[in-house]
Structure 1
Amino acid sequence: MSNRLEGKVAIVTGAGSGFGEGIARRFIAEGARVVLADINGEAVSGLAHELGDASLAVTADVTNKADVEAMIAAATSGFGRLDILVNNAGYTHRNCSLMDVSEDDFDRIMAVNAKAIYLSTLHAVPVMEAHGGGVILNTASTAGLRPRPGLTWYNASKGFAITATKSMAVELAPKKIRVNALCPVAGETAMLDRFMGEDTPERRAMFKATIPLGRFSTPDDIANAALYLVSDEAQFITGVALEVDGGRCV
């Protein structure tokens, strides 16, 4: 590792598992101190115990204003600043007809995948601006770029994340805050069975057949891309929605 994030302080939401855990591990390996935020407090507490003093666990519902305020405060009180915010927490309905998604599921999808970006931005931007700038990274999806039947309302929420990213990038540029998005293809995470509808060899083969490189994404794939976009190597990159998808969107 090359300490590409030495001296940086980051928050990663949804850090208790999947892409969020992979991103948090990689950031710490590269020298960052990281607030591990997740609605599953037990998961992030265990991860923080493993990762040591460079990490801090916070139980947070990213759709709740008070929890988001506390999450941002944990970074400033625990580590003294905030340089990087990764809005990674996500939720999806099960792959099915758009007519069969419940209103409760719809509301939860929009709260976790859209409102959470709004809330975290309101509280993180003043902190970043006070320290001369920062980076916001939103986990979107290939679903927001090439939507397909079965995940319509999830697709729509990720379209929000992509458009919000681009608009935020332009508006926050004068504050020296860069904003980018990651667009993973379906990955080996706990939500994979919901994306597919059911986790069977046949469904896996069907989904993999749409990915030219022939496999799902992994937390390491997403962590590597996230590391680049938040590092100083990407200091002139803002407003992009980076496809990490094995060629899925070609």
Structure 2
Amino acid sequence: MIAADVTAKHIVITGGASGIGAETARLLASRGAKVSIGDRNIELGQQVARELTELGYSAQFTVVDVTDVDSVNEFYRQAVNHFGDMHVALNNAGVDHNPARMLDVPDEEFHRNIAVNLTGVWYCMKQALHYMTQSGGGHIINLASIAGTSGAPMISAYGAAKHGVIGLTKSVAIEYARSNIRVNAVCPSFVKTPMVEHVMSGLNDKQKASLINANPMKRLGEPHEIAGAIAWLCSDESSFMTGHSVVLDGGLTA
């Protein structure tokens, strides 16, 4: 089996210090991509970039807060200055949602989810579009969720943000299709990441078992499984795909 080819592509990743973002950065760099990693966690972000460069791969880290438009603009500016024109922008940064019914969710939790999971994607997409329209095209990939494809009880604020990400993905894909810019989304279910582990830490054993057994595969997804799908999207093998969502959920929504 031939792996999706991303050789010499410059791929910009937010939320690249851990979880799906870090695993994707590792996979893409190992296949020859130039990876610009952004995250609020400076220590972990630098660690991932250092790990990759010590292996002989092309990677660099810049701190970014996706809720701050100036921080986002500076992150993209530095990425392009370092590795040149970007070919793919992976908007992966996100926060979780402590499970609770709407009346028990503080308004601050809603605003936090919208700020990071939706407004942050908006800011990053605008910067990616700014550079891609100048360079002749590219591909924007947004990390959404199956919580954005149907109802998401107990995580309503998170679901609202992810529905918004999918809406943005579809709308902008249509707007920029003739500019040689594709926009797609990836929609995982529960994956074994620090964010999901944090959510599960607040559940009892019965709730944890219910979450794990919700899909036909009876397990959580692995970060490398999501990274593999993203790598395919980053390659030219997905060149006729835009405005769609790749669902990776172990059969949960089948």
In structure 2, the partner of 1:125 is: 129
In structure 2, the partner of 1:67 is: 71
Contact 2:96–2:196 (8 Å) recurs in 1: no
Unaligned runs of 5+ in 1: none
In structure 2, the partner of 1:35 is: 36
What aligned pairs does 1:2-81 form with structure 2 within 5 A after superposition?
2=3, 4-52=5-53, 54-81=58-85
Whole-angstrom CA distance in 2 between matches of 1:236 and 1:201: 44
RMSD, matched Cα: 1.5
Contact 2:4–2:235 (8 Å) recurs in 1: no
What aligned pairs does 1:1-250 form with structure 2 within 5 A after superposition?
2=3, 4-52=5-53, 54-196=58-200, 198-250=202-254
TM-score by length of 2: 0.94
Contact 1:128–1:177 (8 Å) recurs in 2: yes
State the secondary structure of the residue aligned to 1:191.
helix
Spell out, residue by residue over 1:8-63, the C-alpha distance to the aligned partner (whole angstroms, 9 max, x if none).
Answer: 10111111110111111111111111111001011110111110051111111011
By how many angstroms is 1:69 displaced?
0.8
By how many angstroms is 1:190 displaced?
1.3
Whole-angstrom CA distance in 2 between matches of 1:226 and 1:170: 21
Whole-angstrom CA distance in 1 between matches of 2:46 and 2:200: 30
Distance 1:180 1:125, change over 3 A: same
Contact 2:4–2:231 (8 Å) recurs in 1: no
Fraction of identical pairs, as percent: 34
State the secondary structure of the residue aligned to 2:136.
coil
Whole-angstrom CA distance in 1 between matches of 2:46 and 2:74: 16
By how many angstroms is 1:195 displaced?
4.0
Contact 1:94–1:197 (8 Å) recurs in 2: no
